[in-house]
Structure 1
Amino acid sequence: STNSITTAIKTPLACFIQNKDVPYMIHLNIPIERITLGDIKPRIHHLAGKKFDNQTTECHYYFKRRIDPSEMCLMNDGITSMPTYVYEEIDNEDIHTPVPHLDGIIVCKFDFSS
């Protein structure tokens, strides 16, 4: 008998939602290199317990990523301790662009204002 069990893909997403104390951890059944904001948005909105109307609510999605060494010179304003990570905003213009991740985990901050 051939072993045809395939491991289900479970990419972890840690999501910090505005006004919530503890981050949510959910899993997406998509390979990490293919996950986009379009995949994540419905899950975040569900977690936030809100139905968002694009006319009234401005949503911001920030994804944590490592700083590339080439960016160090842009950020170094004489401060000796350099950050290793930054949160980068991904907006609807980049909804089909794969989002940054840290060693296989996507870390997202979600803020909204109406």
Structure 2
Amino acid sequence: MLDDQFGMAGLVTYLRTVDNPSIVSLALGYDLTTLGLNLNLSERKLYMNFGGPWADSPIRAHELDVKVPDEYMTHNHIRDKLPPLRLSKVSEDVLFYLFYNCPNEIHQVAAACEL
């Protein structure tokens, strides 16, 4: 680490004298405990309770990992009742949409074959 005015120590000294607090906080960072993070947990799994720096609460309720009852899994009940997707009858823009927005899925391969 350089100790002169062009090193890290000089940069920190400069940033502490700047009048704009946005520049200082951007360069030096924030205290994570002010964002709602409890860093004194025995488990270090912060993703379980930290919704992000711009979240209103520690984690939003719809993002919790919960067991969904089978009654709500409608795709299991109607999967075999739906007619197959006929890509020959859809327009070219729908095929491009399927190709670019369904990566690593069967729809992408089918759209590529149809294009």
Higher helix share: 2
Q: Which has the larger radius of gyration?
A: 2
Q: Same fold (TM over 0.5)?
A: no
> Given the two structures, how large is their TM-score scaled by the length of structure 1?
0.19
> Given the two structures, how large is their TM-score scaled by the length of structure 2?
0.19
Higher strand share: 1
